[in-house]
Amino acid sequence: MSTSTSALTSDELPGAASPATAKAVGAESLAPQSTRIMGRTSYFLAWFGGCVSIGTFAMGSSVVGTLNLLQATLAIAIGCFVIGVALAINGAAGYKYGIPFMVQARSAFGFTGTRIPGLVRAVPAIVWYGFQSWIGAGALNMVSATLFGFDNLIFYFIAFQCLQIGLSVLGFQGIKWLENIGSAFILCSLMYMFYATVQRYGDELSTSLLTMEGSWGMPFWSATMLFLGIYSTMMLNVSDYSREHKKGTAQSLLTTIYAMSILPCTLFMGLIGYMVSQATGTADPIQVFANAVDNTPLLMITLLFIAFAQVTTNVLNNVVPPTYVLMDVFKLKFPVATVIVGLLAFATFPWKLVQPESAAGLQLFVQTYSAFLGPIFAILVVDYYVIRRRTLDIGKLYDENGPYQGINQAALIATAVGIIAALSFSAVSWYASLIPAGLTYYLLMKHWPACQRFTQ
């Protein structure tokens, strides 16, 4: 099949929806997006609302004792800048052609090979899904126990997960309104939580965090990667979101949208986690704010924010990626796949991940999966910008019997090389994997005859 992009419409592709029905609730497909629903403001608010990750809180806790307050702040800022650039670069294909990550990856990995990066992306999403759902359920349970005397965390975890599954089934239409409406509440709550933390622990913090020498060496750059690593998953599948953004935005402006939408939430959550863990020694955000806020009504608002923030983050970041993987591999419909993803989150045993000693384990988890995600990111970027020169043949990307069938061995070898390099420098695994993986992929694609069908 050699149909050009100009001659092929989404209606002619397998599983494509007509323009009139493409954005019906829950009707997402892997076909090129024909109807885009997010303008610049809406897209900015979606990313803003979807990036209130309690995992950032845990990463802030994990750098206590190695960085002072200034170093922690700069580490977060640098991480967010790199995230913004990476999202704009890798999201360009999805933005231009309206294709999701699982389709974008076919030109580099092949139809069968794409399941590997899909699985690598899906596993962290499901783990974070379970972790953040448990945190949200804990917040609701504390509200219930305080106001009504009903204390049953298991009940609220199951109910909270069912609520998120129900919202996820609505697809991007539901995601858009959930994120946009919740952004103002999220910003106000974060500012208040930061203020309450400083008011409660300010004296202790001023003597320990500001006078601490810290490090500008490897621990500092490792910290930038930790805060970056929270979003290294989204850097991979950013096309799932950019395909929903209306055309007409320059790449430089998209970089700004990504970086500036992620920075406030990441900065607030990271520094809150850093400061309260230094002052109290606990990394559980529920216990932290129960101790930090003396006013009961304000505590209830804070806890409800924590619960709400988990919903906005999960439905955007942790539901869509594995859902698209299931749709691609098992040919499932979007609503069915979201339900399965929600059920899989129960199997992550999130109650084990929120223990006080778990911050270091989460740090290791981020470093480890970043070692796998970094090489795939590098391969996708080299494939689109260097090998394809930003021109894709959409027909071939949807032709299972075309030149992209099977597995591209060059991508697998390059991924393995990048993983080895990343694990050799685990503290900065994502950074360390980029050049080895990208360069290996480029050389193999140019000089290995077995890969030439992928460059036709």
**CATH of residue 124:** 1.10.4160.10
Report phi then psi at 411, rounded to 5.
-65, -40
Task: Tell me the per-residue pLDDT of 304-320, one tens digit each, with 9 for 90 and over.
Answer: 877 887 887 888 789 99
In a domain, 262, yes or no: yes
Short-list 350, 428, 285, CA closest to 132 = 350
In this structure, what DSSP letter does residue 386 have? I
Cα separation, 385 vs 453, in Å, equals 18
Cα separation, 280 vs 299, in Å, equals 18
Please state the domain count of the chain: 1
Cross-strand pairs, 245: 38
In a domain, 100, yes or no: yes
Q: Which residue has the tokens 């109650």?
A: 351
Cα separation, 365 vs 195, in Å, equals 30
In a domain, 152, yes or no: yes
In a domain, 271, yes or no: yes
The token pair at 202 is: 């300010």
The answer, yes or no, to whether residue 413 has pLDDT greater than 80, is: yes
Cα separation, 255 vs 313, in Å, equals 20
In a domain, 205, yes or no: yes
Task: Tell me the per-residue pLDDT of 224-251, one tens digit each, with 9 for 90 and over.
Answer: 998 888 888 899 999 999 999 999 999 8
pTM of structure: 0.87
* 150-153: long-range contacts, CB 8 A cutoff, minimum separation 24: none
In a domain, 157, yes or no: yes
For residue 322, give its domain range.
Answer: 34-356
Write the CB contacts of 252 (distance below 8 Å, at least 6 apart in sequence). 88
Cα separation, 116 vs 321, in Å, equals 13
61-65, 78-82, 377-381, 430-434: which has the minimum mean pLDDT? 61-65
In a domain, 442, yes or no: no
Task: Tell me the per-residue pLDDT of 370-403, one tens digit each, with 9 for 90 and over.
Answer: 899 999 999 999 999 999 999 999 999 999 999 9
Q: Which of 49-58, 191-200, 220-229, 320-329 has the highest mean pLDDT?
A: 320-329
Per the CB < 8 A criterion, the answer to whether 151 and 140 are in contact is no
123 vs 275, higher pLDDT: 123
In a domain, 435, yes or no: no
